[in-house]
């Protein structure tokens, strides 16, 4: 009965929890413009941007990603097959150019569709967030940084054109980008007649992004079962739910600098931790059971 009650409570929380939207940068500035990430000026375009865990300052289930289309300056936007990958990584920037295949390796394909040129054609002055709904959704733990990888394959349209994609000019699609001075936060690859395979070009600007979290409960696979914590962000309590009982599980809460704040036994399937005494900020819950340990990031409001 206790197991069923805990499961019902978790499902109720997931169904009713408030959704969260993160915009990076928060003010959505227009520092510069680029045809990435949905451009079809070249036949084959790829882009990879890094957004840090400190910038996102959240964790949970991401169900959509948006980029801000500023304006169509000249020429009609073209249509192109599009793919979107997400990946949680330890590095906060690109140390050196890499091949796009190495960035895609280990990433999750969360959207694949054809981006219609007519969907971007709103005439002079049209602008707004162009969003992609993720399928499957992406569980972001918040421990690592988020790499967002985009691919468009307009293909070899015509060898007689100066560019082989379907955008009429390189100004047909213009997206807002923000400057990250001194930080290589964005990498691009582009070729006309075939997909690029060589190392890309590094940039200190990247696309503005809107990340939508459908749920702020964090879920991880641990020791052969599912570990969930909720609510996240937490205010007065943090529920730690495991699929089965552990006789030796220890839960340790540490702050962002690694200083231990609390220690609890978590042998029940759902343990309730009092977080009222924690200062607002980012914390990590470490669960130790036997020889295995896992970590989940959460926010204390």
β-bridge mates for residue 225, sequence order: 222
pLDDT confidence of residue 113: 87
Strands 260-265 and 174-179: unpaired
Beta-carbon count within 10 A of 204 CB: 15
Q: Which residues contact 29 (CB under 8 A, 6 or more apart)?
A: 176, 178, 208
H or E stretch at 230:
strand 225-230
CATH class given for the domain over 2-16+216-300: mainly beta
Counting beta carbons within 10 angstroms of the beta carbon of residue 160, is it exposed (0 to 12), middle (13 to 18) or buried (19 or more)? Answer: exposed
Q: Is there a shared CATH topology between the 2-16+216-300 domain and the 20-214 domain?
A: no
Rounded-to-integer distance, Cα 210 and Cα 21, Å: 7
What are the backbone angles phi and psi of residue 103, rounded to the nearest 5°? -75, -35
What pTM did the predictor assign? Answer: 0.70
Residues contacting residue 117 through CB under 8 Å, at least 6 positions apart: 40, 76, 77, 78, 79, 80, 166, 167
**Cβ–Cβ < 8 Å for 92, 56:** no
Reduced to 3 states (helix: H, G, I; strand: E, B; else coil), residue 65 is strand
Could you give the residue ranges of the DSSP H alpha helices within the chain?
Answer: 2-16, 53-56, 100-104
For residue 199, the 8-state DSSP code is -
Output the pLDDT for position 10: 44
Predicted confidence at residue 244, as pLDDT, reads 66
pLDDT average per 10 residues of sequence, the chain (301 residues): 45 50 94 92 95 88 89 79 94 98 96 79 60 81 91 71 72 93 97 92 97 72 73 85 73 88 85 91 84 82 80
| Cis status of the peptide bond prior to 233, with omega within 30 of 0 | yes
| pLDDT given for residue 78 in this prediction | 85
pLDDT on residue 300: 85
Structure confidence at residue 105 (pLDDT): 97
28-32's contacts with Cβ under 8 Å and 24+ in sequence apart are 28/68, 28/176, 28/208, 29/176, 29/178, 29/208, 30/70, 30/176, 31/176, 31/177, 31/178, 31/179, 31/205, 32/177, 32/179, 32/205
The confidence score (pLDDT) of residue 87 equals: 96
pLDDT of the residue at 71: 76
Contact 296, 284 (CB under 8 A): yes
Between CA 169 and CA 184 the distance in angstroms is 27
Q: Decide yes or no: CATH 2.60.40 for domain 20-214.
A: no
**Which strand (E) or helix (H) includes residue 187?**
strand 186-191
In this structure, what are the phi and psi dihedrals at residue 239, rounded to the nearest 5 degrees?
-90, 130
Distance between terminal CA atoms of the chain?
A: 32
In sequence order, the 6+-apart residues with CB closer than 8 A to the CB of 160 are none
* Element (DSSP H or E) covering residue 148: strand 145-153
| Domain boundaries defined on the chain | 2-16+216-300, 20-214
């Amino acid at each position: 009965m206790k197991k069923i009650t805990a499961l019902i409570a978790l499902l109720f929380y997931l169904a009713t929890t408030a959704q969260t939207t993160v915009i990076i940068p928060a003010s959505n500035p227009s520092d510069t413009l680029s045809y990435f990430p949905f451009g079809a000026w070249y036949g084959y375009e790829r882009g990879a941007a890094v957004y840090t865990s400190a910038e996102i300052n959240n964790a949970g289930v991401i169900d959509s990603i948006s980029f801000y289309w500023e304006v169509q300056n000249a020429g009609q936007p073209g249509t192109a097959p599009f793919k979107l990958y997400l990946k949680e990584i330890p590095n906060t920037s690109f140390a050196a150019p890499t091949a796009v295949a190495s960035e895609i390796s280990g990433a999750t394909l969360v959207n694949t569709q054809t981006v219609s040129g007519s969907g971007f054609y709103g005439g002079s002055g049209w602008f707004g967030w162009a969003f992609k709904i993720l399928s499957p959704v992406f569980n972001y733990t918040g421990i690592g940084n988020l790499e967002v990888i985009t691919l468009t394959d307009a293909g070899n349209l015509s060898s007689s054109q100066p560019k082989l994609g379907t955008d009429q000019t390189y100004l047909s699609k213009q997206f807002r980008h923000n400057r990250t001075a001194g930080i290589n936060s964005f990498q691009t690859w582009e070729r006309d007649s075939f997909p690029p395979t060589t190392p890309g070009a590094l940039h200190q600007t990247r696309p503005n992004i809107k990340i939508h979290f459908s749920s702020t409960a964090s879920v991880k696979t641990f020791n052969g079962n599912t570990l969930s914590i909720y609510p996240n962000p937490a205010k007065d309590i943090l529920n730690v739910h495991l699929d089965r009982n552990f006789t030796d599980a220890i839960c340790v809460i540490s702050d962002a600098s690694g200083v231990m704040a609390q220690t609890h036994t978590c042998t029940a399937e759902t343990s309730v931790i009092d977080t009222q005494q924690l200062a607002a900020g980012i914390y990590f819950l470490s669960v130790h059971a036997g020889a295995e340990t896992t970590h989940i990031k959460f926010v204390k409001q």
